[in-house]
Amino acid sequence: MGKLKAIFELIRFDKQYGTILLLMPTLWSLFLASGGKPSYIHLFIFISGSFIMRSAGCVINDMADRNFDRYVERTRERPLASGRLSMIEAGAVLFILLLISLILVLMLNPLCIKLSFVALVLTAIYPFTKRYVQLPQLFLGAAFGWGAVMAWAAVRNEVALPPILLFLATLFWATGYDTIYALIDRDDDIKVGIKSSAILFGPYTGMALTILFFLTIVILFTVGVISGLGHIYIFSIFLVTIGLLYQVVQIRRGMEKIALFRLFKSHVWVGIIVLIGIISDILAG
């Protein structure tokens, strides 16, 4: 049971907010591409795939960062950092997850299969960007946004402007909310030499978040316009805008680590509100 518990911790089984954040842009695109009526098989593939790939990303991250995690207060008890799992055991878990994801991808069309290689590369390289790139959160945003491109391709068998815009919106959105997350570890990251947007932006973090969230909103609004979405969707974007402005104000005032973590997790609701807006607007039309 000890090993099983460690594996569950390795894939963050009890912390599924990461899966939801990965899933939301995918569902935005899936519902838009299908006119609000995605097939059950596509829902199954992309919901399951988001869980599997997020789990695989967590395993790769912990394998890459095991020697850093033991010096960071928040991560020192992770299974690999604490020695409760070996690299071989983590590698076996990763192999199984990637095998399942391959099975899911093979159920999609050839274009999606090709696009899935990009998703795999983004998932694999992100953990290592924290060592060499000043803004690794951009790579996380790319990984989290690529599902929007794949979902659209699964339905329409093409890559078009709407999913590309959703990808860009997610790129900026995820960079923003992961910057909030990085604020929690900023002091420890500086000590161990890990790079992050929270360190890069420094005292200008509030301004950077304002720009990132502004770009997110503008692009999401543009998606609504070119996709023919109406007042319900626009209202959902308005609600999200108010919520993001509130977050920036709170961060500018200064926040404790626990409050920052709650703020980060609240972005799950940002994604859900946008999804509700898309679905409700399509069905109302």
| Residue-wise DSSP of 145-195 | HHHHHHHHHHHHSS--HHHHHHHHHHHHHHHHHHHHHHHHHHHHHHHHT--
Let me know: does 50 contact 26? Beta carbons within 8 Å: yes
What is the Cα–Cα distance from 276 to 246, expressed in whole angstroms? Answer: 21
| pLDDT band with cut points at 50, 70 and 90 for residue 246 | very high
**What is the model's pTM?**
0.95
When pLDDT is averaged across residues 114-120 and rounded to a whole number, the result is 95
What is the Cα–Cα distance from 211 to 239, expressed in whole angstroms? Answer: 18
Query: Of 178, 264, 262, 281, whose CA–CA distance to 220 is shortest?
Result: 281
Let me know: does 52 contact 116? Beta carbons within 8 Å: no
Whether pLDDT at 81 is above 90: no
* Mean pLDDT of the chain, nearest integer: 94
Domain ranges of the chain: 2-284
Of all residues in the chain, the percent with pLDDT exceeding 70 is 100
Whether pLDDT at 211 is above 90: yes
Residue in this structure with the two tokens 């993001």, named with its chain if needed = 244
Q: What is the CATH number of domain 2-284?
A: 1.10.357.140
When pLDDT is averaged across residues 251-256 and rounded to a whole number, the result is 91
Whether pLDDT at 130 is above 90: no
Residue in this structure with the two tokens 């059950």, named with its chain if needed = 40
Query: How far is the first Cα of the chain from the last one, in angstroms, to the nearest whole number?
Result: 52
When pLDDT is averaged across residues 132-151 and rounded to a whole number, the result is 95
| pLDDT band with cut points at 50, 70 and 90 for residue 71 | confident
